[in-house]
Amino acid sequence: MDILQDTAAALGKRIKAGEVTAVEACEAVLERIRQRDQELNCYITVDEEGALARAEEVQRQLEAGRLTGPLAGVPVAIKDNMNTKGMETTCASRILKGFVPSFTAEAVGNLEKAGAVIIGKTNMDEFAMGSTTETSYFGPVKNPWNTAHVPGGSSGGSAAAVAAGECFYALGSDTGGSIRQPASFCGVVGMKPTYGAVSRYGLIAYGSSLDQIGPLSKDVTDCAMILEAIVSHDKKDSTSVALTETDYTSALTDDVRGLRIGIPKDYFGEGLDPLVKASVLQAVELLAKRGAVVEEFELSLVQYAIPAYYVIACAEASSNLERFDGVKYGYRAKGAEDLHQMYKRTRSEGFGREVRRRIMLGSFVLSSGYYDAYYLKALRTKALIRQAFDRAFAKYDVIIGPAAPTTAPKLGESLEDPIQMYLGDIYTVSVNLAGLPGICVPCGKDHRGLPIGMQIIGDCFEEKKLIRTAYTYECAAKEGGSHE
């Protein structure tokens, strides 16, 4: 009986039934980490002792009937940009090395209330800036399907850990595709919820108007269950929205009859790997056979999403990352003679190249004389992109396309040409600009055995439609055996 084959839902059930203990589950995951993480590098911190102690505590509470939720006792990994009280939180940056938060992010706290056992903190692109998890100060993560390839990013450690059985599920964050794209590359399910659905309190900010925490999981059922646990209205995050219909698991129905699916032609044009295209369209075909109404349409403005995104994200990052100045936490450069020099040296030595690049660009587009031409122009473009989605959702329940134009590239091939790397975000960034929810589900593999993901996009707070569509596809693929 291999515990690690279980989904989070299956394990949770077995723990509740007394067939497996939370401690056994925790030990199984830790053993897998010992076997594989030397090579994969999914984790920055593994809290072996703390996790086992917590598993014992959860087991006691389960037996006493104080914990009854479906995730109680299930081991989880948390992306290292979410604060965890008493557990080092680095954002994969030298500048935060050694930082031990005095509080816990709201979404993580929600999981703890549900009885989750936190195994550790996952590797990521430094400050979530990157698409490959190669900009981490702690070295790159490798794709469990083929270790010569990247896992995607920035939540690459979370996605790879789920795929490798180094946890049962994970939390990631998504600013321009950072949950959906690594989910696609690692063959797992990843969801970016609607902006405002999950509290950002305790998430170390990159682009505050775009950031959103979400689940990475083995299947759609787990995704719905995790989402149900982390969504909450939080007074500590003023952009958090009070939602009533958060019983996401009720949407796990194998039924898309009459569902209107829009296929944006501009998501299937030049630059898309033909194998990815074929896989996604085949998946859509399965949904059509299940009774969905599929239609092609022109979304428009797709090529403008990336430049608008980089202006807005970098502008917000340059402001958000001002707090890392060598005074309150983390790294401080030695030998500075005055305060200003200390700031400059600390930041120049503490931030990696991609982070410095984005802070510089963000400072530039916000500076007087350029603010209107770049920053306001990008915000106007964002408004147009949102309008394009509004028009689409007047006609369709969901929009389906690929999550990334290719499967996972090889390690070391992406960072040399930043614009080329940014282009890989073409199908994901507009979802963040418009604040929409998006889910990525595995829908095939390429000739090298690397996973392909299908992205389903919905209107704001229509997560249930995404879950229903993704779940139906999952059922159809299992039946048809066309998944592989």
Partner 1 sequence: MANSISEETMEYVGILAKLELSGEEKEQARKDMERMLEYIDQLNELDTSGVEPMSHISPLHNVFREDQVTNGDDRDAILSNAPEARDGSFVVPRTVE
Give the dihedral sign, CA 34/35/39/43: negative
**Residue nearer to partner 1 on the CB measure, 157 or 362:** 362
Exactly one of 131, 136, 155, 178 is catalytic; which is it? 178
Structure tokens at 161: 């850990």
Nearer to partner 1, 288 or 336 (CB): 336
Residue 244 binds to partner 1 (criterion: CB under 8 A): no
Q: Does 418 bind partner 1 (CB under 8 A)?
A: yes
Instruction: Tell me which of 268, 307, 482, 483 binds partner 1, using CB under 8 A.
Output: 307
80-117 exposure pattern, b = at least 16 Cβ within 10 A, e = fewer:
bbbbbeebbbbbbbbbbbebebeebbbbbbbbbebbbb
Site string for partner 1, 365-384 (x = CB under 8 A): -xx------x-xxxxxxxxx
Asked if residue 50 binds partner 1 (CB under 8 A), the reply is no
Beta strand ranges found along 32-177 (DSSP E): 43-46, 75-79, 117-122, 169-174
Taking alpha carbons only, the member of 269, 259, 297 closest to residue 458 is 259
Q: How far is the CB of 84 from partner 1 (least distance, A)?
A: 14
Q: What is the DSSP string of 374-439?
A: IIIHHHHHHHHHHHHHHHHHHH-SEEEEESSSSSPPBTTSSTT-HHHHHHTTTTTHHHHHTT--EE
Q: What's the closest the beta carbon of residue 140 comes to partner 1, in angstroms? A: 21
| Side chain identity at residue 392, one-letter code | A
Residue 178 among the catalytic residues: yes
Least gap, CB of 182 to partner 1 (angstroms):
23
Q: Which stretch binds partner 1 (CB under 8 A): 63-71, 225-233, 344-352, 392-400?
A: 344-352
Query: By CB under 8 A, which span of 33-41, 60-68, 237-245, 282-290 interacts with partner 1?
Result: 237-245
Strand order in the sheet with 398-402: 43-46, 117-122, 75-79, 169-174, 212-217, 189-192, 438-445, 451-458, 398-402, 260-264, 293-297
Contacting range for partner 1; rule: CB under 8 A; set: 46-54, 124-132, 157-165, 360-368:
360-368
Q: Are 88 and 316 in contact (CB under 8 A)?
A: no
CB of 347 to partner 1, least distance (A): 5
What residues act catalytically? 79, 154, 178
**Which residues contact partner 1 (rule: CB under 8 A)?**
98-100, 102-103, 195-196, 209, 235, 238-239, 241, 301, 303-304, 307-308, 310-311, 318, 322, 325-332, 336-345, 347-348, 351, 356-357, 359-364, 366-367, 374, 376-384, 386, 418-419, 433-435, 460
